[in-house]
Structure 1
Amino acid sequence: IHRQTKVSALETVLTKLHAGAKFGQVGGYKVAGGLHGVGVSAVNALSSWMRAEVKRDGKLYMQEYKRGKPLRKVRAISRAKGTGTTIIFEPDPQIFPEIKFNLQTILNHLRQQAYLTKGVKITTKDLREEEEKSYTLYFEGGILSYVCYLNRDKEVKNKIPFYVEKEINGTRVEIALQYTNEYTETVFSFANNIYTSEGGTHLSGFRTALTRTLNNYAREKEYLKEKNENLSGDDVREGLNAVISVKVKEPQFEGQTKTKLGNAEVRSIVDSVFLESFLAFLEEHPQDAEEIIKKCIISSRARLAAKTARETILRKGVLEGFALPGKLADCSSRDPENSELYIVEGDSAGGSAKQGRDRNFQAILPLRGKILNVERARLDKMLSNNEIKSLIIALGTNIGEQFDIKGLRYNRIIIMTDADVDGAHIRTLLLTFFYRYFPEIIKRGYLYIAQPPLYRLQLGKEIEYAYNEEKFLKLQEEMTKEKRIKKELTGKKGKKVIKRLRDEEIKRLRKEEEIEGLSEEEIKRLREIEVTPEKKINIQRYKGLGEMNAEQLWETTMDPKQRIMKQVIIEDAKEADEIFSILMSSEVAPRKRFIQRKAKTVKNLDI
C-alpha cells in the first residue's frame, strides 16, 4: 500500500498523475524516463477498459479498470513463475472513433528504445490478421549498433566506429559516431531515452568538443599548417552520423514540446567525456583518423569556395534588386504574408502561369529542366548552378550560415510540376533542396505542392476536372448518366415528369436522393436508366501543365478559391532524413531495396 495514496502501488501508478516511470540498469530507479508523468495513467483514463497483470513472489496479481476507474482491488488470481508486468487496454471508441494502430510507427519507436537500452529484448506481435506477425528487437551493442544500422548502406570513412560510455557525477554519457562519404550530418540526441529533436546542452557539449578535438589533432599531426584556417563546426560535421545518449537524474526539458535538454552541467560533462575519449580513439586508429581529417579539410575548402560564390550571388542580387529578367515574374505586393511564389517546371508552363496569375500577389519562377540533386553535391557546386542560384535569389533568405528567415519574400512557396514521372522527379529534387538547406521554411508551413488536374471532361457546355483516377471514373459515370436521363425525359414517356424536374433535382437523382413530387414508379424508372457507350464525353488527359491555357491553369491550380494544394510537413524528422538519404544519395543498393519493397503498392504508374 502506497503511503500517500492509501492504495496499492500498481493502482497508484495507473491512476495518479506524476507517479513516475523509472528505468536504469545499475541500482534501478536511477533516472526518470517520462516528460510529463501522465503516460500510463492517461492511457488508462482514455481506455474503455484496461487490465494489469503482475508476476511477483510466485503469484499472478490482476486488477481491471473501466474508463480509468478500478473495478476492484488488486488480487492474486493464480500461481506464477518469474516476474513481469502485462498491460492490456482498448482505446475508448467514444473518444477515438477510428482506432487503428500503425505497426511501422510502433516498431520504429520500439527499435529505437532497444538500441538505447542495450541488452533488452523487445518482442512485438501483431494478432490483427489470421497470420500472426512477430518481431524481436535485441541489440547487444546498443547505440553503437544504432550507428552501424544508420550507415548500413553507406561508404564509411572510419571503418571502426567510435564509442564511449562513462558516468560523471551521476550523469551517464554514451556516444557513438562514424563518418561517411555523404555531405549531410545525421545526429540523433537523447536524454533519458527521450528523443530531443531540438538538441540541448548535451548536443552543444558534443559539437564543441568534436570541433576542438579534430582541430587540435589536425594541428598536432600537421594536417593543418599555420597559414590554414581552423576547421569550422560545419566542416567537421559533414558526413557525420552520430548518436548521443545521456541519462540525467533530474532532467530539465525546455519549451512547450519539451524536446530540448536544458541542464547546464550536462554540457561540460559531455564535453569532457567526449574530448578525452575521442582524442584517444584518433591516436589509436591513425588510418581512420586520417580519413576523417582529410574529409574535414576537403569540406573546409569547399566551404571557402562556397563562401566566395555566395558573396558573388549576394552582390548580384543586390545589384539587380532580386529581379531575374526572363526568369522571375515577380508580384507587385511586397508583403510576404500576402505573397506566393510558384516554382514551375519549364518555360511553356511558366508562360501560361505568368499569363493566368494574379499579378498582385503571385510570382512565377520557371525552372529549366531538372535542378541539381543537392544530396550529392556540396554547397560550392550548388551555388554554381544557375537554376539553384535563381531560386536562392528569389527566396531572399540567403543560404547556409547566413540564412535568415526574415528575408523570405513569400510565405507560400508552391511547387507546380507536371503530373508525370519527370514532374515527380523534379518535385522530389526540389523537396530535397528545401529539406536539406531550407528546413525552417518547411517547419513554418510555407512550402506547398500544387495539385493540377489529371483530366478535363466536357459534355456539351458542362466542364469538370478530375484530380485523381477515382474522381475521373466517378465523373464519367455521373455526366453520362445525366445526359441519358435528360434524353429519356424529353421523350413521350418522360414529358410529364420533365415538367416537374429542375436541373438541381436531376443532379440529386445522380446521388440517389429522394425527390418530392415523383411517384415511386417514376423514381424507379429514372433510376433504371443506365450509362450507354454511345454517349461520349470529350476527355483530355493533361500530361503537362503546358497543355493548359492561362485561363484553365488559373481556374484549376492557381485560383485560391478553387485550387487544391498539399502542405509539406515533417511528421518524423528521423524517418524523413532516412528517406531522403535512400532516394537521393549516390548509394544504389538501398534505393533498389526501397523500390522492390514499395513496388506492389504503386497504382496507375505513368511511365
Structure 2
Amino acid sequence: MTTETKASTQNNDYTASRIQVLEGLEAVRKRPGMYIGPTDINGLHHMIREVVDNSVDEALAGYADRINIIIHADCSVTVSDNGRGIPVDIHPTKKVSGLELAATVLHAGGKFDSDSYKVSSGLHGVGLSVVNALSTWMNIEVQTGGKVWRQEYFTGKPQGPVKAVGKSEGRGTTVNFMPDVTIFRDGLDYNFRALVQRFREMAYLTKALRFHIADQRDGNEVNFYFEGGIRSYVRHLNKEKNVLHKTPFYVERDLNGVAVEVALQYTEAYDTDSIYTFANNINNTDGGAHLTGFRNALTRVVNSYARSKNLLKENEANLTGDDVREGLTAVISVKLQDPQFSSQTKEKLVSPEAASAVSSVFGDAFNTWLEENPGDAKRIIEKTISAARTRLAVQKVRETARQSAMEGFPLPG
C-alpha cells in the first residue's frame, strides 16, 4: 500500500468521533446564512429588523405604542420599546430567567403561546437569540415591576445572571448589540435610507405606532406616525403620479382567523404594477399566498364587471392579469396566528388560508366598490381594455415580423 493510499484510507475513516455536536448558539455562528440569509448588508439589516419585529409584536398585541431605534457612532445598535418587557422571572422547568432563555436558546419565546401573542412577526423563537449569537456583545435591559433588570452577553454567552440594577416607573425592553465583524466581513456599513424605508412600512402597517430612528454616525433622524394606515401608504407611493381615482379603495375584514387589509389605487402609468405584500407586518418581497389570492380576485372581478356593463364585448377575450394590473399600486396586509413562510428570512408566505381569505374579502369588497363608484370604475376598465388592446397589437406585430422573417429563408433542396 502506498503512502498516498494510506492517507486516503485515513481520511475516509468515518467514525462517530468525526460527528460534531454544536451546542447552544454555536450552530448559528457556524452557519449564519441559515438564519439571516447572506452575511452582507442585507444580513446586517436583518439583525436590526429581527429585534424591531419583537417590539412591533408588542404593539400588535396592544401593549406598546413607541419604538426607538438608534445606530450609534461605533456602529452598535439600540432598539427600545414601551411594551410589557421580556419576562425576567424564573422559568418553571428550565430554572433560569425568561430573559436569558429568550436571548440564548433557539426556539424559546412567547410567540408560540397564542394567549401571549395572537399575531407576531417573530415566529420561530430564534430572532433575539440569533442576533445575540451573531453579535460581539449584547446588553438587554428590561423595565418591569418597578425595577430595571439587566443581562450582558459576549458572542451569545451570558456574562452573569439577570440582575436588578435600579428602579423604574416605566416598562419596556431595550436591546443594545454590536454585530460581529468576524461574521459580517464586509463591515458594519448600514444603509440608513433602506432601514428608514422598512420602518416607514412598519409604521404604515401598524396604525398609531410611533417610530423614532436616529443615525448618530451623521446626525440623520426621522419620526413616523400614520393614522391612515395602508391607505396613507398607497397615497405616499403615488404622490408623484397621476391617479385615476382620488380616494384609494380600502377594505379591512377578518375571515376564518385571517385579518385582511387591502388598499389600492390606479394611476395613469403604463408600467407594471407596484404591489407590496405583508404578513404580520413582515415584508414578503417574493409575495406568496396572499398575493395569489389578490391577483386571482382582481382579474375575476374586473372581467366580470366589464362584461356586466358591456364595456368588454362578447367577442373580446378576457382581460389578462397583466392587463388589469397595469398602473396599479396596491398594499396587501394579512395578520394570522400561525403563518408559514418559505424560510426564516420570510420573503414568501405559503399559508394557503391567506389566499382564500384575501380572495374572498377583497373580491367581494372591490366588486361592491366598482358598483358604487361607476365613474371611477369606468376609468379603470377603460385603462385595462386599452392595455389589452396594446398587448394584442404588439403581439400581432411580432407575429407578422416572425412570419416575414421565415418567408425570407428558402426551404432546403
Q: Does TM-score exceed 0.5, indicating one fold? A: yes
Structure 1: how far apart are the matches of 2:160 and 2:408? 77
Q: What does residue range 75-90 of structure 1 map to in structure 2 within 5 Å?
A: 75-90=163-178
Structure 2: how far apart are the matches of 1:52 and 1:104? 26
Question: 1:307 offset after TM fit, Å?
Answer: 2.0
Question: 1:255 offset after TM fit, Å?
Answer: 6.2
Q: Measured at CA, do residues 174 and 27 of structure 1 come closer, stay the same or move farther in structure 2, by a change above 3 Å?
A: farther
- 1:13 alignment partner in structure 2: 102
TM-score between both structures, scaled by the size of structure 1: 0.49
The two structures, once aligned, show a CA RMSD in angstroms of: 2.4
Within the alignment, does 1:142 sit opposite 2:236 as a pair?
Answer: no
- 1:161 alignment partner in structure 2: 248
Q: Deviations over 1:81-138 (max 9, x none)?
A: 2221111111234434532222122212211221222221110112224xx4321111
Question: 1:317 offset after TM fit, Å?
Answer: 4.9
- 1:109 alignment partner in structure 2: 198
Q: Deviations over 1:374-415 (max 9, x none)?
A: xxxxxxxxxxxxxxxxxxxxxxxxxxxxxxxxxxxxxxxxxx
CA contact 1:147–1:177 (8 Å) conserved in 2: yes
Q: Measured at CA, do residues 4 and 152 of structure 1 come closer, stay the same or move farther in structure 2, by a change above 3 Å?
A: farther
Paired amino acid for 1:279: N
Q: Measured at CA, do residues 21 and 288 of structure 1 come closer, stay the same or move farther in structure 2, by a change above 3 Å?
A: farther
Question: 1:227 offset after TM fit, Å?
Answer: 2.7
- 2:260 alignment partner in structure 1: 173
Q: Measured at CA, do residues 317 and 3 of structure 1 come closer, stay the same or move farther in structure 2, by a change above 3 Å?
A: farther
Q: Measured at CA, do residues 103 and 46 of structure 1 come closer, stay the same or move farther in structure 2, by a change above 3 Å?
A: same
Q: Measured at CA, do residues 258 and 312 of structure 1 come closer, stay the same or move farther in structure 2, by a change above 3 Å?
A: farther
Q: Measured at CA, do residues 96 and 257 of structure 1 come closer, stay the same or move farther in structure 2, by a change above 3 Å?
A: closer
Structure 2: how far apart are the matches of 1:31 and 1:100? 32
Question: 1:33 offset after TM fit, Å?
Answer: 1.2
Q: Secondary structure at the match of 2:268?
A: coil
Structure 1: how far apart are the matches of 2:109 and 2:333? 20
Structure 2: how far apart are the matches of 1:204 and 1:94? 40
Question: 1:224 offset after TM fit, Å?
Answer: 2.0
Q: Measured at CA, do residues 252 and 316 of structure 1 come closer, stay the same or move farther in structure 2, by a change above 3 Å?
A: farther
- 1:399 alignment partner in structure 2: none
- 2:325 alignment partner in structure 1: 237
Question: 1:204 offset after TM fit, Å?
Answer: 1.1
Within the alignment, does 1:287 sit opposite 2:350 as a pair?
Answer: no
> Which residue of the other structure, out of 166, 189, 192, is the alignment partner of 2:277?
189
Structure 1: how far apart are the matches of 2:169 and 2:152? 21
Structure 2: how far apart are the matches of 1:8 and 1:39? 18
> Which stretches in structure 1 are left out of the alignment for 5+ residues?
322-607
Within the alignment, does 1:126 sit opposite 2:225 as a pair?
Answer: no
> Which residue of the other structure, out of 299, 310, 317, is the alignment partner of 2:398?
310
Q: Deviations over 1:418-444 (max 9, x none)?
A: xxxxxxxxxxxxxxxxxxxxxxxxxxx
Structure 2: how far apart are the matches of 1:300 and 1:202? 25
Within the alignment, does 1:91 sit opposite 2:185 as a pair?
Answer: no
Paired amino acid for 1:170: G
Larger Rg: 1
Q: What does residue range 63-78 of structure 1 map to in structure 2 within 5 Å?
A: 63-78=151-166
Structure 2: how far apart are the matches of 1:21 and 1:179? 41
> Which stretches in structure 2 are left out of the alignment for 5+ residues?
1-89
Structure 1: how far apart are the matches of 2:314 and 2:395? 21
Structure 2: how far apart are the matches of 1:254 and 1:315? 44
Question: 1:35 offset after TM fit, Å?
Answer: 6.0
CA contact 1:201–1:263 (8 Å) conserved in 2: yes
Within the alignment, does 1:300 sit opposite 2:388 as a pair?
Answer: yes
CA contact 1:23–1:31 (8 Å) conserved in 2: no
Which structure's relative contact order is higher, taking Cα pairs within 8 Å and 6+ residues apart? 2
Question: 1:315 offset after TM fit, Å?
Answer: 2.7
Within the alignment, does 1:209 sit opposite 2:301 as a pair?
Answer: no
- 2:340 alignment partner in structure 1: 252
> Which residue of the other structure, out of 344, 361, 365, is the alignment partner of 1:273?
361
> Which residue of the other structure, out of 128, 132, 147, is the alignment partner of 1:59?
147
Indicate the percent of aligned positions where both proteins have the same amino acid: 51
CA contact 1:23–1:32 (8 Å) conserved in 2: no
Q: Measured at CA, do residues 47 and 206 of structure 1 come closer, stay the same or move farther in structure 2, by a change above 3 Å?
A: same
Q: Secondary structure at the match of 2:307?
A: helix
Structure 2: how far apart are the matches of 1:320 and 1:60? 83
Q: Measured at CA, do residues 3 and 310 of structure 1 come closer, stay the same or move farther in structure 2, by a change above 3 Å?
A: farther
Structure 2: how far apart are the matches of 1:16 and 1:41? 6
> Which residue of the other structure, out of 223, 228, 234, is the alignment partner of 2:316?
228
CA contact 2:253–2:361 (8 Å) conserved in 1: yes
Structure 1: how far apart are the matches of 2:401 and 2:380? 31
- 1:200 alignment partner in structure 2: 288
Structure 1: how far apart are the matches of 2:150 and 2:170? 15
Q: Measured at CA, do residues 137 and 316 of structure 1 come closer, stay the same or move farther in structure 2, by a change above 3 Å?
A: farther
- Which runs of at least 4 in structure 1 moved beyond 3 Å after TM superposition? 20-24, 34-37, 93-97, 255-258, 316-321
Q: Measured at CA, do residues 274 and 88 of structure 1 come closer, stay the same or move farther in structure 2, by a change above 3 Å?
A: same
Q: Secondary structure at the match of 1:210?
A: helix
CA contact 1:20–1:32 (8 Å) conserved in 2: no
TM-score between both structures, scaled by the size of structure 2: 0.71
- 1:483 alignment partner in structure 2: none
Q: Secondary structure at the match of 2:250?
A: strand
Q: Secondary structure at the match of 2:287?
A: coil
Q: Secondary structure at the match of 1:152?
A: coil
CA contact 2:142–2:172 (8 Å) conserved in 1: yes
Structure 2: how far apart are the matches of 1:297 and 1:58? 64
Question: 1:319 offset after TM fit, Å?
Answer: 4.9
- 1:472 alignment partner in structure 2: none
